[in-house]
Amino acid sequence: MKIILLLLFIALGTGISEIAPQTFADHSEVTIENAPGSSVPGCEETPEGCFIPSIETVDVGGKVIFSNTDNAAHTFTSGVMGEDSSGVAFDSGLALPGSIFEWTPTEVGEYPYYCLVHPWMIGTIIVQEVQAEKDIHDDDDPTPEPTPNPVISFDTDKSNYVIGDTLHITGKISNPSYGVPVSMILQNPDNQISSLSQHTIDENNMFRYDELLSGPLYDIDGKYSIGIIYGEEHVNKIINFKSTSDKHDGGTMMMDDTMMMDDTMMEGEMMTEEIMIEEEMESIPMSLAGEFIGVGDGVHDADGDAFIIPIEDGSNVLRLENFKSTNGPDLYVYLSTDDGASDFVNLGKLKANSGNQNYEIPDDTDLSKYNKVLVWDKAFGILFGSAELSSQSTFETSPKYETDLTVETESQTLPTEKGTLDVRLTHDAIELNVQTKINVDFINPQTKEIQEHIDYTIYVSKDGERVFGPIPLTHTSIGTVKIPVEFNLGEGVYTMDFEIKGILFQPIPTETVSFDILVGEEPVQPTPETVPVVPKPIPELGVALFVDETQDPETYVDRYNNEAEYKKWFDDNYPDYDSIYQAVGLEEPVEESTPPYVPEPLLSKPESIASVIESEDIIPEPDNVEDTLDPEVQVLSDRLEKLEDRVGFLEGIMDSIKSLFG
């Protein structure tokens, strides 16, 4: 019996020693990456899954590094989508390509996780106790002081919203970690994501966010959930939303009504200040005014009007009317000498990214020097938009005053090549060598509403020479951008080309759309008596889109000439091109035509032969006949000489006969 127990002990010891390295392997730090192309469904069916590895083990207190190695934005969110556990343990927020997110687990257990943007991406993290050997060796190590967890506190400006309202969120992070962003997720009653964004906190650990509740993502009534995520912390708040508005029956609203309903107030005492200024504005003329022009890259943008309002006590107020800008982490309002904020007066943080707002101007500010209003990202030193102030005699553009001033606008809407989106261009009358703001709306053709979250590129050209762009691949979250373009290549037709590469964070096969913009006077129409046809200017086609500039264009010509299917494909899809040569940018070779061969008429009569022989055009002088006659003519000449000899012989016989019978 003792021998059996001894053998069993030895066997167990051997087994333990064999499995110990695997069981107690070091799991203090692990890295999880996105599978390439995981933003498109299909990775969930592969053995590796959408996260690599899809199942990973880590020690309590260890580090999990999530690395977004894909070319699309993702989230790393704990729990199961739609359940209360979603985002409780950890949530990275929107992680852009190339970014990383770290999580330190504090409790043993299994943690499922997924991507909010691409819910088919799922994985599991197993958190285990630290290996025993390591615990023994670490007994003497001093226990580090625990770091207090961050605490999130935030609030909204109200609890009930309707379509067209702007949701204003203000919050604070206590015990923040350096470089960690604040993520905001807004979900509708069906747990679909209506908005997803990231923000940085300011020097006071504060964050602010504004969301315009409009568009196809806000078409469901009910309770919307606002989730704020910071590192491992996650808090929620519910708001009530109605997708139809009963605000106003239409018509012109007075400025006080507009302010009460649309203006954003970051502090309660500002309401009285706004009303006082509104009342004073009724009788006080504007001294300076300007219109915002955004950067136009789809990310940094500002729109609206800026006015300097002189108050009776001698002070001045900056008024922003019909204002709207894209979101930024640390936006301020400056009065500056230039667009680069090299010398400026800081009027304070931007109160809201939409709505009418007022800013006090210091009394000693020289408005002739600081004549530009900037919306400026202080954290990154980036301009969002600027308005140059110039003399303005009356408050013409305010909605409070009626005016006869009208601006002629032009608009055109075209679908992308496969009809996935409609793109609408709107702009005022264009002047040469003057910057014009082109408004671009991306429209869902089914709902006829603005389509949010579009990835695109754009450039403007004339006769192949570019005047704007191409801009790099750019994302617009609101589905509307303003492009400042200076048309400086003379009158004529300019072409604005778009490439659409993604919708709602999903990459799509590139779709293009091209607009023709006529700059300058249209051709003068003739009087009815003449009625000549004035051809419409047609831009040159240029090289076709399917041509790869790195390949020899002759390869396309060879395929066209030798492959029937390729020839049919080209002829069916590119009928506007005269030939394959034009499509690939080659000159079509011109074959020299040879005149048809016309044989000389045959000579059938002796007199014709004689006339040919006697012709000065064929037979030269007698002394050169042998050297110059054509061989065929020479043969005829010899035969004629023999014939003449025979004729002379016969004539001699006839003369002899006549003399005998004479």
Helix, coil or strand: residue 632: helix
* Band of residue 14 on the pLDDT scale cut at 50, 70, 90: very low
Provide the pLDDT for residue 307: 87
Provide the pLDDT for residue 188: 82
Q: Nearest-CA neighbor of 367 among 303, 278, 290?
A: 290
Residue 568 has pLDDT above 70, yes or no: yes
Rounded Cα distance between 645 and 303, Å, is: 112
Token pair 């002739």 in the structure block, residue: 368
pLDDT by residue (tens digit) across 356-386? Answer: 888 999 989 999 899 999 999 888 888 999 9
* Band of residue 630 on the pLDDT scale cut at 50, 70, 90: low
Region 338-364 average pLDDT: 89
* Band of residue 10 on the pLDDT scale cut at 50, 70, 90: very low
Provide the pLDDT for residue 155: 87
Residue 296 has pLDDT above 90, yes or no: no
Phi-psi region of 42 (alpha: psi -120 to 50; beta: other; left: phi over 0): left
Residue 659 has pLDDT above 50, yes or no: yes
Region 78-82 average pLDDT: 82
Q: Nearest-CA neighbor of 167 among 212, 204, 129?
A: 212
Would you call 311 exposed, middle or buried from its count of C-beta atoms within 10 A (0-12, 13-18, 19+)?
A: middle
Helix, coil or strand: residue 254: coil
Q: Counting every residue, how long is the chain? A: 662
Phi-psi region of 538 (alpha: psi -120 to 50; beta: other; left: phi over 0): beta
- Which residues on neighbouring strands pair with residue 193, listed in sequence order? 187
Rounded Cα distance between 237 and 214, Å, is: 20
Token pair 């079509």 in the structure block, residue: 588
- What's the Cα-to-Cα distance from 55 to each of 42, 101, 124, rounded to whole Å? 18, 17, 5
Residue 515 has pLDDT above 90, yes or no: yes
* Band of residue 251 on the pLDDT scale cut at 50, 70, 90: very low
Helix, coil or strand: residue 625: helix
Provide the pLDDT for residue 336: 95
Residue 309 has pLDDT above 80, yes or no: yes
Contacts of 538 (CB under 8 A, 6+ apart): 493
Rounded Cα distance between 531 and 396, Å, is: 44
Residue 157 has pLDDT above 50, yes or no: yes
Residue 399 has pLDDT above 70, yes or no: no
Residue 533 has pLDDT above 50, yes or no: no
Q: Which H or E run includes 101?
A: strand 100-103
Q: Nearest-CA neighbor of 231 among 92, 76, 112?
A: 92
Provide the pLDDT for residue 249: 37
Would you call 137 exposed, middle or buried from its count of C-beta atoms within 10 A (0-12, 13-18, 19+)?
A: exposed
* Band of residue 18 on the pLDDT scale cut at 50, 70, 90: very low
Provide the pLDDT for residue 25: 55
Please tell me which residue, 131 or 385, carries the higher pLDDT value.
385
* Band of residue 24 on the pLDDT scale cut at 50, 70, 90: very low
CB atoms within 10 A of CB 259: 21
Region 287-315 average pLDDT: 82
- What's the Cα-to-Cα distance from 46 to each of 52, 54, 70, rounded to whole Å? 11, 11, 16
* Band of residue 335 on the pLDDT scale cut at 50, 70, 90: very high
Residue 17 has pLDDT above 50, yes or no: no
Provide the pLDDT for residue 283: 38
Contacts of 159 (CB under 8 A, 6+ apart): 239, 240
Residue 269 has pLDDT above 80, yes or no: no
* Band of residue 415 on the pLDDT scale cut at 50, 70, 90: very high
Rounded Cα distance between 557 and 581, Å, is: 7
Region 425-441 average pLDDT: 86
Rounded Cα distance between 559 and 564, Å, is: 8
pLDDT by residue (tens digit) across 612-629? Answer: 445 444 444 455 444 555
CB atoms within 10 A of CB 498: 22
What's the mean per-residue pLDDT of the chain? Answer: 75
Rounded Cα distance between 257 and 254, Å, is: 5
What is the DSSP code (8-state) at residue 553? T
Region 572-590 average pLDDT: 84
Q: Nearest-CA neighbor of 300 among 520, 476, 423?
A: 476
Region 410-428 average pLDDT: 89
Provide the pLDDT for residue 609: 46
* Band of residue 142 on the pLDDT scale cut at 50, 70, 90: low
Provide the pLDDT for residue 131: 64
Provide the pLDDT for residue 522: 57
Region 51-77 average pLDDT: 89
Provide the pLDDT for residue 32: 93
Residue 558 has pLDDT above 50, yes or no: yes
Please tell me which residue, 568 or 655, carries the higher pLDDT value.
568
Provide the pLDDT for residue 260: 32
Provide the pLDDT for residue 146: 67
Provide the pLDDT for residue 376: 93
Provide the pLDDT for residue 266: 36
- What is the token pair recorded at 370? 């600081």
* Band of residue 400 on the pLDDT scale cut at 50, 70, 90: very low
Please tell me which residue, 213 or 346, carries the higher pLDDT value.
346
Contacts of 382 (CB under 8 A, 6+ apart): 300, 328, 376
Q: Nearest-CA neighbor of 130 among 15, 22, 19, 25?
A: 25
Rounded Cα distance between 191 and 171, Å, is: 23
Residue 504 has pLDDT above 50, yes or no: yes
Region 241-255 average pLDDT: 50
Provide the pLDDT for residue 216: 67
Residue 495 has pLDDT above 90, yes or no: yes
Q: Nearest-CA neighbor of 587 among 597, 574, 578, 575?
A: 578
Provide the pLDDT for residue 372: 94
Pairing of strands 63-67, 29-34: parallel
